[in-house]
Chain A
Amino acid sequence: MRVGLFIPCYVDQFYPGAAQATLELLEKYGVEVVYPLSQTCCGQPMANSGYGKYGKDSADLFMKNFGEFEYIVAPSGSCTLHVKDHVLPKTEGAPKIYELCEFLTDILKVDHVNASFPHKVGFHSSCHGLRGLRLAKCSERMDPEFNKPLSLLNMVNNIQMVELDRKDECCGFGGTFAIAEEAISVTMGKDRIADHQRNGVEVLTGADMSCLMHMEGLLKRQKSPIKVMHIAEILNGNEVVESSET
């Protein structure tokens, strides 16, 4: 199977490790991964700030890069959602974009993960993936229980998943919200990491690097020993690195 790999701009610039892990992981499952070199950003920052119109160029560019693929995969729930809702045409035969975890569970139907991670891990359920892409049942809805990213993490050897008090509350990142509503954003983030801290988490992970970046920023400021890793890195068998630069 051949897929186009979309690496969101901030992952490309600040978290190349998460992108590498995504690439390697997909290759381990026998996927032919193509990474178009002239890709940039999906346009989400502009659109969520009300300037969807300024995202037109990047949307056109996105289609130029990815228009020919049947499947596009991205290690980010919120960018995937934005592309799905606002960039890809809603026509027959148009490319389909998947967030990494749902691609693994729904398309590749992964039933084993060849990795060991002997740590206590807290999972952050990012909102756009959760309630936008429906990667898991959210606590508000009364549907049957399912959780795609967690089902993958639970296949990792020796991993100890930690239950949180509020399992799917927002971390307060929200793109430009993190700046525009700084006070609330920081309070929400602190509350979120406190839940992980209370429950003895050693490594905090999730499928959206942007939320993780926000919480990592707070953890580092507090000199917390909790490490932050993208879910791809754990599934790829990466080890916890002392520097959070992964």
Chain B
Amino acid sequence: MKGKTHAEEAAAFIKDDARTHWHDETLWHVRSNRDRSAQGIPEWETLRDTASATKDYVLSHLGELLEQFESNAKANGVEVLWAKDAVEHNQHVYRILQENKVSNIVKSKSILTEECGLNHYLEKKGYDVVDTDLGERIIQFAKQTPSHIVLPAIHLKKQDIGEIFHNHIGTKEGASDPNYLTEAARQHLRKKFVEANAAITGVNFGIAETGGFVVCTNEGNADMGTHLADVHIACMGIEKLIPRAADLGVFLRLLARSATGQSITNYSSHFHRPAEGKKMYIILVDNGRTDQLGREDFKNSLKCIRCGACMNTCPIYRRSGGHSYNYTVPGPIGSILSPGRDLKKYSTLPFASTLCGSCSDVCPVKINIHEQLYKWRQVIAEHTNMDRSKQLSMKVAGMTFGKPVLYDLAGKVARTALKYTPHSLVYSSINVWGKHRDLPEVPEESFKEWYKKNRKQ
């Protein structure tokens, strides 16, 4: 990050008014689909309670569940590796590729590998990593990062995509018909699938009881990749566990509905063991997760199943775009995950919210996102010297509000000043409120003054 605040990034995005409204409408449409779909489930709130309680259990028994998962997976013939951070994770992947003499890699969408910067790392080692999720491939061509965890290219219009495809896979110039573009991408990716010797996937759910794991995609690209290649590397954050296979139904029902409004993702693929003559690896990645688990106020954020619903519902995300957050996971959940990674760098994200609470109510695992945003604000104000002038004004406000006489006086002074200050000065550039909004009209007297005159016996 170049040290830009969320507000600056957001203001830049918003300059293109038409695009902002298009972005907002598109995501609102997804949120509306989600609402309609959830309305069809009478036990929706019970499902959320159940999912939340299950994840609570996972977080309080993480150590033993991980061990259970590891031993079951090993018994199934899967090689299990542990990575304490992104570097270790990437090194594991590299070593596996070397050992298996892999030359061509296909990858299905994984936010974890994005978090670890895997593509970049492998490219430097000379590998061409092909993302096979359509949205992911688009932004890979455009040399961008995903702006959304479920809809990585949601910030791009079909015209943008037409141009990107024209430049990279030779579609007709100016073509923007989604059918045509999708077909072209399909042909392009088919070749990559056939050539691949290793497939990298993320993991949506790891099941401690069986050692198996589930990968959800809408395009079937994870299945295509893993079926064709001889090596499957699954990268999994340690919080992705669920205790039993029987818990899966709750999460699969919630995940797709919360994400897009579908009843279930098109492909929910279960992996247990490598096929004859093939190899399967699972890398269990910490990368800051146990630190977050140790933060009592914030550990709940690890329940996240990455459905993206909090982004779709967030009125700020919808209007500022995912890139304004400058973090792998943007939006409300990203704003409570990122300060744990780097308090200074992400110090403006917990403030990129009106604390409207929509994220918490939409979240299928009931993460108290907006309360955590509030709590991060207190931590940030305490531990970073973010904004001296803000700190001072808050200190003065605190003092004034502590003393009724001072408060009454300050109120009167402010009202009088507003009344008699020339318009041009009130609406000068230092008055941020007044750039696009009028100030309230100044009343003759405050309520307190009126009350003293009219009511006090």
Contacts and interface: CB of A to CB of B under 8 A. Distances in A.
A166 B433 contact: no
Contacts of A14: 415, 440-443
Contact of A140 (B315, B361, B402, B455): B361
A57 B402 contact: yes
Interface string B389-407: 0110011011111111001
A177 B397 contact: no
Contacts of A166: 28
A30 interface: no
B10 A141 contact: no
A181 B7 contact: yes
A236 B46 CA distance: 40
Given A13-B411, A51-B395, A187 B20 contact: yes
B380 interface: yes
B361 to A, nearest CB: 4
- Categorize the interface residue count of chain A: 35 or more
Contact of B435 (A35, A184, A186): A186
Interface stretch (A90-98, A110-118, A168-176): A168-176
What secondary structure prevails in chain B residues at the interface with A? helix
A170 B354 contact: yes
A183 B353 contact: no
Contacts of B38: 142
A88 interface: no
A49 B400 CA distance: 16
A20 interface: yes
B105 interface: no
Contacts, number: 224
Interface residues of B, number: 75
A15 interface: yes
A152 interface: no
Of A50, A52, A56, the most chain B CB neighbours within 10 A belong to A50
A190 B11 CA distance: 15
Nearest to B438: A220
A94 B21 CA distance: 47
A48 interface: yes
Nearest to B406: A40
Interface string A23-48: 10000000000010111110101111
B7 A49 contact: no
B136 interface: no
Given A128-B355, A181-B352, A48 B401 contact: no
Interface stretch (A101-109, A156-164, A209-217): A209-217
B10 A181 contact: yes
A170 B370 CA distance: 14
Contacts of B441: 14, 243-245
A155 interface: no
B447 A40 contact: no
A41 B407 contact: yes
B315 A170 contact: yes
Nearest to B434: A217
A46 B354 contact: no
A7 B448 CA distance: 9
A236 to B, nearest CB: 14
A8 to B, nearest CB: 10
B398 to A, nearest CB: 3
Contacts of B411: 9, 12-13
Interface in B380-424: 380-382, 386, 390-391, 394-395, 397-404, 407, 411, 414-415
Given A39-B404, A184-B14, A51 B354 contact: no
A12 to B, nearest CB: 5
A218 B437 contact: yes
A47 B376 CA distance: 11
Interface in B321-357: 351-357
Given A52-B378, A217-B440, 6 more contacts: A9-B411, A49-B377, A61-B403, A142-B44, A188-B315, A220-B437
Interface of B: 6-7, 10-11, 14, 20-21, 24, 28, 35, 38-39, 41-42, 44-45, 313, 315-316, 319-320, 351-358, 360-362, 374, 377-378, 380-382, 386, 390-391, 394-395, 397-404, 407, 411, 414-415, 432-433, 435-443, 445-448, 450-452, 455-456
19 contacts: A9-B411, A37-B456, A40-B404, A41-B397, A50-B377, A52-B378, A54-B397, A55-B398, A58-B402, A130-B357, A143-B45, A177-B351, A182-B432, A183-B7, A183-B11, A218-B436, A220-B437, A221-B437, A245-B441
| CB-based closest 5 A-B pairs | A57-B402, A174-B354, A54-B398, A217-B437, A50-B381
